[in-house]
Chain A
Amino acid sequence: MPLTSVTFAFFFFLVFILYWFACNGDPRRQNVLLLLSGYFFYGWFNWKYAILLCAISLVTYSLAILMQGTAKGSTKKLFLLAGLLVDIGILAGFKYFNFFADACRRLFSIVGFTPDGVTIHVILPLGISFYVFLAVSYLVDVYQQKLAAVRNPVDVLLTLSFFPIISAGPIQRPIGLLPQIRNPRIFDYARASAGLKQILWGLFMKMLIADNCAAGVNAVFAKTAAPPGSMLLIGIFLFAIQIYADFAGYSNLAIGIAKLLGFDIIRNFAYPYFARDIREFWRRWNISLTTWFRDYVFLPLAYFMSRKIKAARSWGMRTETLIYIFGITVTWMLTGLWHGANYTFMVWGLLQGFFLVLHRAGATPRRKLLKKIHLRNDRSPFVIMETGLTFFLVMFSWIFFRADNIGQAWSHVTRIFSASLFQKPRLRAIPNLSVTVAFILIFVAVEWFGREEEYAIARLGGKWPRALRWTLYYAIILAIFWFSGQRQEFIYFQF
């Protein structure tokens, strides 16, 4: 059941009542309730994959206990490797088996050997990319003694199955979630009302902005369509808004729901499209994921390389720079692959790495140039230019994210940068365009004025009289229902 569904609303209402009224403030009872709710929620999609989740959780729990219980470093490492093998192996098997099998087949065919294709037909378990990362976090943190292994299996299982965040994040690491799980939760009015407001804003972003943009994006990128560059540009712009509103909206929903249960979850998006450069963008977009890759892939890789390469210069550049380039390339290739088993995601990830390397390489020359021409970098026109350029780069890279394959992505790129960019776009082909544009403008304005806050409407109406504030909430709820991108046109089946 998606977080935006009526079914989930009924489910959560029940959980909320039981959690705060029936559990009598006892954290153990509350945790059991959350655990059962989490498995019920997850099992709703497919009960078989709930068993998989349970299995991964129990393996993680057991290995962490074993790691903690042994003083010998090599044994500890063995347990860690076993855990990583199981967790990442299961993720790789479900998500990447067919991708790598196909890649190997292509590689062999280059040398004239065409093995029989082997593919497995499985449905990817919901949220597996998220909870496997949580499991890996837990094991690594226990190994590095940042976190003590928890003996209570309920706490560990709950950490990996916390239902607000299991399906699409944020990736709230055990080091942040476990203390909250183990401590009593006291209901806080301010936190709960902030949570409700955040849910409202998340619904607005997801159902009104993202779903309406999706209709336009699907129309532009429909398989039967061969749109000119101008249409593709509009389509990719709408996709940029869609993917942000969808993902950030869902994160807001998840964080808001967690607040209603007394939990604070890591913020996942901080107005990324207002970033002035690509580095800042990636410190604002999917923060939980990028920090995870930074802490568990990039930094360990960088430390490893810095221990191995002693020379001050390697390959014609400073070792530090080489390590950065290598680390960023590997990290972003994996980040791209994490999003999906397709070369387009890999290319998208490598593009981000490339932009980051370029940004780093250009930082010093840029600073010197600005100093030479006496231009302050906080002047509005300059800020606007940098923000616009960053948005354009990100938007360009979304082409690869959206495309089905590299060929299609390349076709889109060539058409955008062709004479057809100046062809008049067929705006009528985009459903509800005027409504979508109107709401995008409102959305951007609200995000801009609320950019200092955790979420855009955090302080909106805070000082207003209750009647006015409630009228605002009423208007937002009505707008969500009236203009939601969810299908309201009646479909005539065989009538």
Chain B
Amino acid sequence: MGKTGSLGRPPGAWPHKPVVNDNHFRGSGPMGLRRFCKTVSLFGVIFLGVNFMGNLLLRRLDGRKADNPVHELKDAYFAKNAGQYNAVFFGSSLTYRHINPRVIDDELREFHVRGFNFGSPATSNPEALYLFEDFIEKLPPSSAVRYAFIELTDLARINPLNQFSPRSYYYLDFRYLKFIVRYFFADSRLDGMTKIVSAYPYVQGYFLNNFLLAKPTQARMLGRKYLGKRKDGYYGLDVDLKENKSRELLDRRLAFLRDTSLLAKRIPNKKIPVSLAFLNPVYLEFLNGLLSRAEKKNVELYFVIPPRLPGYHALYPLKKCIRGGRVIDLSGYAEFYLPALSFDLVHLNSAGADILSACLAGKLKLKLGAGR
């Protein structure tokens, strides 16, 4: 027998009698079940409703904040210096670390191009598409921006480790959710299960973003060094490593140096003919829609296919079908797959970035010249 001191009775081995909440209706059988389901459903509807309305209100007060610290830094800087730039580049680290506006400005001097790099790490499509749309929507009529470039890649899959991170879903409204789900289900490369598995984290993210009250977070302001030396948004990886001595970057660099042969697997096989069977009509429709939105704000939008992607089957058909031929393909140049110009498996170093930027500028010059 245990003691019955002031810390409570010792337990028995058998189940306790279920606790009865005095305020609850004591129903049993079908009646009780119906009442239970009604009560739970009512609570659920109120819970979701309060959260939904709360999020709407918070967004009206706060604006739709991008939970993306590098982008927030660039957004804030651009807002104060918008008059200096007439070309913007959106995308992931494949933009952030590769597109050097200084090189592009020099090459396109005759077109008076002055670029700002809005690229940020882990900002693949659809997030980059959203950030561009948000940018275009907020662009005043008096803006100097005339050219915009978005990195063209397949829509990214949310890594299971990031599925509960607001960064993965902060931008998801119903329109984007519908686009993303339709995109995956229209992707002819995927089997049924993979389509569901790919789309599901976005569905979950949409739910979390809209039906769970946003957690108050403090804005993280990064240092201005992430804008790059010329404060044009470009920040090479090797420069980043030198200045910040990040362990993670060093590990990536060393891992790449241990076996650079993996780079060869990233070179696209040009011998395989482009098949329109891989064209994703949902993606095409969305991208053409972006073109129209940009045109309404007098902005010429181009899509840039970067090098070193794992696959290009679904991107090359888009190149053929996007309205106005507004695609610049940088994937096929051997230089962009040289170890000497690489920082790691996915990224170029500063020298490689300069060559890529010059190549991009050259192709753009042709297009701009043809347009005149």
- Give chain A's interface residues, CB within 8 Å of chain B: 6, 20-21, 176, 186-194, 196, 259, 264-267, 270-271, 274-277, 279-280, 283-284, 287, 291, 377-378, 380, 383, 387, 451-454, 458-459, 462-466, 469-470, 473-474, 477-478, 481-482, 484, 486-495
Q: Which residue of B lies closest to A489 (CB)?
A: B165
Q: Which residue of B lies closest to A172 (CB)?
A: B15
CA distance A172 to B39 in the complex (A): 30
Please state if A490 and B165 are interface contacts (CB–CB under 8 Å). Answer: yes
Pick the contact of B10 from A284, A459, A484, A492 — CB < 8 Å?
Answer: A284
Please state if B30 and A187 are interface contacts (CB–CB under 8 Å). Answer: yes
Please state if B344 and A494 are interface contacts (CB–CB under 8 Å). Answer: yes
Interface bin, chain B = 35 or more
Please state if A378 and B6 are interface contacts (CB–CB under 8 Å). Answer: yes
Does B26 touch A at the CB level, under 8 Å? yes
Known contacts A259-B18, A284-B10; is A495 also within 8 Å of B3 by CB? no
Given contacts A20-B33, A470-B43, 15 further A-B contacts (CB under 8 A): A176-B15, A190-B18, A190-B24, A196-B40, A264-B18, A266-B14, A266-B15, A275-B7, A287-B13, A378-B3, A462-B19, A487-B164, A487-B165, A493-B122, A495-B122
Please state if A466 and B161 are interface contacts (CB–CB under 8 Å). Answer: no
Pick the contact of B167 from A271, A276, A490 — CB < 8 Å?
Answer: A490
Please state if A188 and B10 are interface contacts (CB–CB under 8 Å). Answer: no
Known contacts A462-B23, A495-B92; is A284 also within 8 Å of B11 by CB? yes
B9 CB contacts on chain A under 8 angstroms: 452
- Give chain B's interface residues, CB within 8 Å of chain A: 2-3, 5-11, 13-16, 18-30, 32-33, 35-36, 39-40, 43, 46-47, 50, 67, 92-93, 121-122, 159, 161-162, 164-168, 204, 208, 212-213, 215, 248, 252, 344-346
**Chain A interface mostly helix, strand, loop or mixed?**
loop
CA distance A193 to B92 in the complex (A): 48
B5 CB contacts on chain A under 8 angstroms: 276, 377-378, 383
CA distance A259 to B213 in the complex (A): 29
Please state if B23 and A488 are interface contacts (CB–CB under 8 Å). Answer: no
Pick the contact of A193 from B24, B93, B164 — CB < 8 Å?
Answer: B24
B344 CB contacts on chain A under 8 angstroms: 494
A487 CB contacts on chain B under 8 angstroms: 161-162, 164-165
Residue from the set B13, B161, B162 with the largest chain A CB neighbour count within 10 Å: B13
Please state if B46 and A189 are interface contacts (CB–CB under 8 Å). Answer: no
B363 to chain A, nearest CB (A): 25
A-B contact count (CB 8 A): 154
Please state if A194 and B21 are interface contacts (CB–CB under 8 Å). Answer: yes
A380 CB contacts on chain B under 8 angstroms: 6
Please state if B3 and A377 are interface contacts (CB–CB under 8 Å). Answer: yes
Known contacts A196-B40, A478-B213, A492-B122; is A189 also within 8 Å of B165 by CB? no
Known contacts A291-B13, A494-B345; is A188 also within 8 Å of B32 by CB? yes
Please state if A462 and B21 are interface contacts (CB–CB under 8 Å). Answer: yes
B215 CB contacts on chain A under 8 angstroms: 481-482
A458 CB contacts on chain B under 8 angstroms: 19
A20 CB contacts on chain B under 8 angstroms: 33
CA distance A486 to B159 in the complex (A): 14
The 9 closest A-B pairs by CB, nearest first: A270-B11, A189-B32, A490-B167, A189-B27, A495-B121, A495-B122, A264-B15, A454-B16, A187-B33
A474 CB contacts on chain B under 8 angstroms: 47, 50
B248 CB contacts on chain A under 8 angstroms: 492
Pick the contact of A267 from B3, B15, B168, B346 — CB < 8 Å?
Answer: B15
Q: Which residue of B lies closest to A188 (CB)?
A: B28
Please state if B22 and A463 are interface contacts (CB–CB under 8 Å). Answer: yes
CA distance A356 to B10 in the complex (A): 17
